[in-house]
Structure 1
């Protein structure tokens, strides 16, 4: 590694030791970092898998949540539930009587999975149709054969791959509330001393009768993104006066739901009961247990009992009754219905893929010939896909070539095969002319092969790249859309950041070990590949970079970090490396702070594309990060604006963002967070590590940020030894999910 090539300006401002060759990000070369601020808001669930103090809510843009709440409700799973004994189990069951029907439904579904699942059985499909069918059968209104009767599968046609239908990207816009509704909400907000600017959002969230609902229950204001409990408490006191109290049932329910929403933003699909009650106590709830009971009774949240593995303390058989087996240790989880149902649907769909034999598309000898023609672990991947409905494929950037070989082999065998990537930038990193769609476009129907007569994706094989970015809701939609007999390959690098949305689907599947796992043996080449591979193993090592592939730029404080970053992007990298500014991306740990994306983007705009920002703060030519949905970021460029809204070009496709959504969905995009950059790669990357970000760094963040570079990586280094410590000692922050328990093979009950 080397330090940045100097300009005349560099010589005047460089730090001591900046010209020394061979420095590593962990060597502390150059001056020590200066005073550390406290305002860096680290990437939250939408950014680095965990919120930190000072983060700003991003609302619809998919950014960090309220950070205090994420720290309280979204931390590591509590160890207090691991030793739950038999006495506690009976107490929990008594407490959860209000959820009896829900638990029985879950138990029935688990029992159904004990038997083998044959190919061709429609265990999933359109969610609404399936739900109606199940209810009809359970109620006795219709026999199973009548409800699930369907025509036999149509013969597969050996037609050529359909041409991908490129369509303009359009944001999903919720129906705008009536002007009268917004005016009514505005009046209530004014009476309670809340910002009237929240009126459109509150009216949209609360729907019809929003004014009356808000007057009757002021804590409903917590449903508006960005509102904190103390703000809702102040609003309620202004409206209710003496009738407002910390033990108000409305407040208890609202704060309970809010904490679970914050936990979901931090990546959890549920929380253990002790963690939730502890967070409620920190929020001034007098009786946390009563708050949870009230929310359960009102159907605001759901509760579940999941079995524990070896982490749980065994129950003494002597404590069980005579002739009775000791009860299985369990933990009680609480979550929102939205994510609970998505996780169950995902588990059911995965069970269908695991238990079903894939459709026979030709003699086994054809698959074996295709495997024999492939190289190394690509041959293993083809053989695994030949006989299994679900296969996991792990590896770095070089492993994408193996997925491309599989896609080509499947096409030669006559299969309708497609690949899906996380970001539009991922298309260019795959095989040329290959049938590739973004996952969002595939599920929405804007891209990909389209749907068959049953509404399923018209594919025989689907390869999902960037699989760690798959959250539970996208995963559920994906497996529900696959036809019976189709094959699914989830491929990705397990060392990168997990999904911006709740869950850790890829990691949970790898840990379950229920399907073939093919690990690529192709290393990423060059000094960058060597550096990133070491980080993945927990070691920040020095690498030889004769072509200045890796450059370390020590800085003393955040102000110098911003100055040096702008200098690198606008001058040093284009001049010394040959990569123009428009092909260089800056990656920093958070949006706020003295060297976050806001400050960096303002400085880069002033240098690279100055202008008055006449289109809602943007000018033609500005690089932007467009977020059509929470957790999704599409890099683009501003083309112009008109009465319809802000016009962008994102990965070559036109996008029109309505003017009322510009503030929520569009940010300047010269500087991104690591989660926003996931799924893409650029010729040059400038990774900014200011001193106030030292406590937010983790190994997955460093791995993800550094591995976005194809030819050159500059590290603006101001965190001293915090960088090697993060790589060596800070793995991914744990997430609480139910998928491992739902995927666990069911053991038949003893008679």
Structure 2
């Protein structure tokens, strides 16, 4: 490490590949060909009947050739008159219901007659068996057509409540002494009857983000007067739900009952057990019992004299939204694990792909060949292994896709996939591969087909990726999800439910980074459950930064050799000096000594508040790099921003302009318009980010700021994530002294209470 950066040669930036989307096609209705064929057969039968009639007439003519022509003519006329009389009689006779109809037509006509006569028709008439579902026709191989990059649509904000509802809520809030600015939120959350519901149960105010129990208590006292008390059942239920919501924000999908009752006691709930029971009875939360593995389980005596082992259980309470999502995720993953993967690509083809792959990727390809779900772990350099897997799958004719957490990750993985695809095709040629698989691989390279790389958000929304098949499942055979630690239970559940039967799923990621912003720890739970093969990459991240980050991952903060000033430590005494040195590094030192411009340097700090948080740093960086009055709600054209289309998901961007439609941004090269009412909650200045906002992205240079007041916020995953965002250069503005090595060595990720391991073990036998 060094304290003074010096010039180094600037590396050539990577070139993102073009994005192509496969042409979509429509299948002809099955049975149309059969119907045509049946019509042809009927026509042929009619022709045969005509020929048969002519033959019969010819034979009859031969038998009566001695009859005169006059007699034959009279006989023919007599036959024709009899036929005409029969037709007249049929037209004048009454028609029996369904007498000349068969099948469904006859049943329907009989049912109509029955209804007209006051009778009840037979139920099978209208509830007959549904026709068997069509099997989709095999999609012909089409040459991919280039398309413009697609950006997922900006989520629409909640529907604005009616003005009358907001005014009624405004009156109740005013009466209770609550901030009047909460009226639109309360009306949106509680619905049309919000005012009456809030007056009947003032603690419903806790359902509004940012409101705390003590504030809701004051509001309730103002409205209820003497009727308000700490033992009120309404308060107990509201505080219980509020605690579960706070737990979800901290990453838990449920809470154990003892932990919940202890938290209720700290919130002055007189009878926590009664509060829990009331919450369950009202349906505000769900209760679960999960069996625990314990070798010390005591045997119990059954009524018939047989001994069975009594397994301990833990009782949990969770909000329905997250509890059901976790159960759905377990069901979906169990289906993937237990189903037989599609035999697209023969066993010999998989063996050949494994043999021709780089050594680091061969183990992953071999595991995917025979299993529905595979976990892959490793750092940034290990992404080349799933890239080799996707390339090999494409050469085998599989519809393979990769999904990343961020747009930046999509760009970087697409570049890796282009290199891996070229290598796969070259390897196939060296092995003498021919036929459709090799041709498909060659076409992939020639067409620069990088549309197989999408973002998770774009894939689930349908804005990116293969689309859905006739059954509503994703139209693919293999899905590789990068940045898997960022999957929360809700996104992971939707992903698992969307996979078709027989599809293969690979979850790949670095287990050392920060977990998802939403509840759950899906990737870590799957690693702990050991229900599927796990492939650990042996490819180390290169260079001094890779060496430093690898050491942090095992709890060691090592001093590394950095001859090119790849890692620089800048000691500071206080937060003010930290801000000053950060601005100096971004605006002057790093561009001059390292060759990385300010717009490609990212500042990362532990929190938003404080003297050296994102707010203070962004204000100082804006004043230096893009000064202006902030005439668009605090923003000016050219400002670097962090846009959050959904909670926990940050997209870097830049302000373009503002008008009546809202704030216009450019994010990853695509235009985004943020409505005026959503700017305050979804757009921040982005020169400085937290590590949670930066996860899933990398920059040529990163400046990590560690002010003295941030020591308590540091942990090994935080430091690992923050330091790992740098590609070429890392500056550490260091003001926490020994708190940094202590955090790396001792402070692990905060535990999260989840149910996924127990749910999976109940459905899937443990892997070896």
1:398-437 correspondence to structure 2 within 5 Å: 398-432=381-415, 433=448, 434=450, 435-437=452-454
Cα deviation digits, residues 176-212 of structure 1 (max 9, x gap): 1112211211111111111111111111111111111
Q: 1:289 aligns with which of 273, 281, 288?
A: 273
Partners of 2:129 and 2:594 in 1: CA distance: 68
1:576 is the counterpart of 2:593: yes
* Equivalent residue number for residue 302 of structure 1: 286
Distance 1:457 1:162, change over 3 A: farther
Unaligned residue ranges in structure 1 (runs of 5+): 8-140
Distance 1:692 1:407, change over 3 A: same
Partners of 1:580 and 1:701 in 2: CA distance: 25
Contact 1:504 1:737 in 2 (8 A): yes
Distance 1:148 1:601, change over 3 A: farther
Q: 1:677 aligns with which of 658, 673, 694?
A: 694
1:538-617 correspondence to structure 2 within 5 Å: 538-617=555-634
Cα deviation digits, residues 216-248 of structure 1 (max 9, x gap): 111111111111111111111111111111111
* Equivalent residue number for residue 167 of structure 2: 183
Contact 1:698 1:732 in 2 (8 A): yes
Contact 1:535 1:727 in 2 (8 A): yes
* Equivalent residue number for residue 552 of structure 2: 535
> TM-score, normalized by length of structure 1?
0.79
* Equivalent residue number for residue 30 of structure 1: none
Task: Give secondary structure in 2 for the equivalent of 1:453.
Answer: coil
Contact 2:480 2:506 in 1 (8 A): yes
Partners of 1:174 and 1:703 in 2: CA distance: 37
* Equivalent residue number for residue 238 of structure 2: 254
1:208 is the counterpart of 2:208: no
Distance 1:518 1:159, change over 3 A: farther
Partners of 2:176 and 2:627 in 1: CA distance: 41
Distance 1:151 1:328, change over 3 A: farther
Partners of 1:378 and 1:348 in 2: CA distance: 29
Partners of 1:148 and 1:635 in 2: CA distance: 50
Partners of 2:337 and 2:549 in 1: CA distance: 33
With a CA cutoff of 8 Å and minimum separation of 6, indicate the structure with the bigger relative contact order.
1
How far off is 1:166 after superposition? 1.2
* Equivalent residue number for residue 44 of structure 1: none
Cα deviation digits, residues 619-678 of structure 1 (max 9, x gap): 111111111111111111111111111111111111111100111111111111111101
How far off is 1:699 after superposition? 0.5
* Equivalent residue number for residue 356 of structure 1: 339
How far off is 1:5 after superposition? 4.2
Distance 1:152 1:187, change over 3 A: same
- The two structures, once aligned, show a CA RMSD in angstroms of 2.1
1:280 is the counterpart of 2:279: no
1:204-353 correspondence to structure 2 within 5 Å: 204-310=188-294, 314-315=297-298, 317=300, 323-353=306-336
Partners of 2:219 and 2:715 in 1: CA distance: 38
Distance 1:519 1:157, change over 3 A: farther
How far off is 1:362 after superposition? 2.2
Contact 2:299 2:307 in 1 (8 A): no
Partners of 2:249 and 2:144 in 1: CA distance: 38
Contact 1:376 1:521 in 2 (8 A): no
* Equivalent residue number for residue 711 of structure 2: 694
Distance 1:606 1:321, change over 3 A: farther
Unaligned residue ranges in structure 2 (runs of 5+): 8-123, 416-447
Cα deviation digits, residues 69-105 of structure 1 (max 9, x gap): xxxxxxxxxxxxxxxxxxxxxxxxxxxxxxxxxxxxx
Q: 1:504 aligns with which of 521, 532, 543?
A: 521
Contact 2:694 2:725 in 1 (8 A): yes
Larger Rg over CA atoms: 2
Judge which range, 419-428 or 462-471, deviates more: 419-428
Cα deviation digits, residues 157-184 of structure 1 (max 9, x gap): 4334565661463123111111221121
Task: Give secondary structure in 1 for the equivalent of 2:409.
Answer: helix
> TM-score, normalized by length of structure 2?
0.77
Partners of 1:556 and 1:6 in 2: CA distance: 24
Partners of 1:249 and 1:447 in 2: CA distance: 48
Q: 2:371 aligns with which of 388, 408, 431?
A: 388
How far off is 1:363 after superposition? 1.4
* Equivalent residue number for residue 154 of structure 2: 170
How far off is 1:309 after superposition? 2.0
